Amino acid sequence: MIYLILSGFFYAFNNLLWKRILSKFDLWLIIGLRCLLTSCIGLSIIFFFYPNIFLNLTYSVSISILMASIFGASGLITMILALKDGSLTQLGVFNLLIVFLVSSYLFFFENIFLQNYTIASIFIISGFICYILQLKKIKGVKKNFSYRNFILFTLMSFFFAASLLLHWYILKQEVPAILSVTFQEIVVFFIVLIIFKFQTSLASHQIYPQTQKILKPVAFMAVVIFLAIWTSFLGLQYTNPLISSLISLITPILTIVFGVFFYKDQWNYLTLLSLFLISAGVYLINLKYLPQ
């Protein structure tokens, strides 16, 4: 469980870093460079610690990793597009949706039963409803929360939920987590490379100077997101997607807090109530897994 907790902190910190850098530089250049650096980190670890990893891959596992990576890449791209004009608070809200998507799938298709699941779900759903209600009470939120962002954040939630579930099935086959991490980042890099060619706002002579400016912060982001994804997959390897997604509620809660402190996102008593309810639900649903 410690891996999942660490992953939640890394993801929240990564969200803050994304928000800070997106307003200053070309979107696709940032994503492409970050994914390139993260892929290099992963390939280096595979080369030194898992040199024979590709020899044991079957065709079906390779296809599964590819599909999971495509969903993960789609989730990242829609998240960044929405976050560019949206807020960290909005991102935090839609991260919660991933939990409900994952839990619904496992309930209907995997018959996974967890102690206190019903009451914990009531707490979490109530917390989510409180948060939606408080959006209407905060001045300026409704104006910024455009239909475009709503669609993008919703798509992000579906893509990330699908990626999480597929990666879980892959990891159950004892495929090292580092392979899933690296493959997903490589897929994102090549997708963004294609998009960059047609969508970038930069002239060819501007690419190198801007790359020099963003290299250090993006390199730092690459390390942070690599740690976030790797610890997430390591935690997923020893639990299931529902516990993983519930523990990852640390991410939206911290993301919301970062939005308040660094970007003056507003909140009120309903915000505090929603965070309390969600935290209580997370505790209850994981009660039997906590140290006695």
Kindly report whether the global pTM for this prediction surpasses the value 0.95.
no
Predicted confidence at residue 71, as pLDDT, reads 94
C-beta neighbour count of 128 within 10 angstroms: 19
- What lies within 8 Å, CB to CB, of 205 at 6+ separation is none
Predicted confidence at residue 70, as pLDDT, reads 92
- The amino acid occupying position 133 is L
Whether 262 and 115 have beta carbons less than 8 Å apart is answered as no
Six-digit token string for 98: 């991933």
Q: What is the mean pLDDT of each run of 10 residues along the chain (292 residues)?
A: 78 81 76 88 88 83 91 89 76 74 76 69 80 62 60 90 88 81 88 80 73 86 84 73 64 72 68 76 59 41
- What lies within 8 Å, CB to CB, of 72 at 6+ separation is 159, 160, 163, 167, 184, 187, 188
Predicted confidence at residue 248, as pLDDT, reads 63
Whether 251 and 99 have beta carbons less than 8 Å apart is answered as no
Predicted confidence at residue 143, as pLDDT, reads 47
Q: Among 229, 104, 100, 86, which residue's Cα sits nearest to residue 153? A: 86
CA distance 91 to 260: 13
Six-digit token string for 23: 């307003």
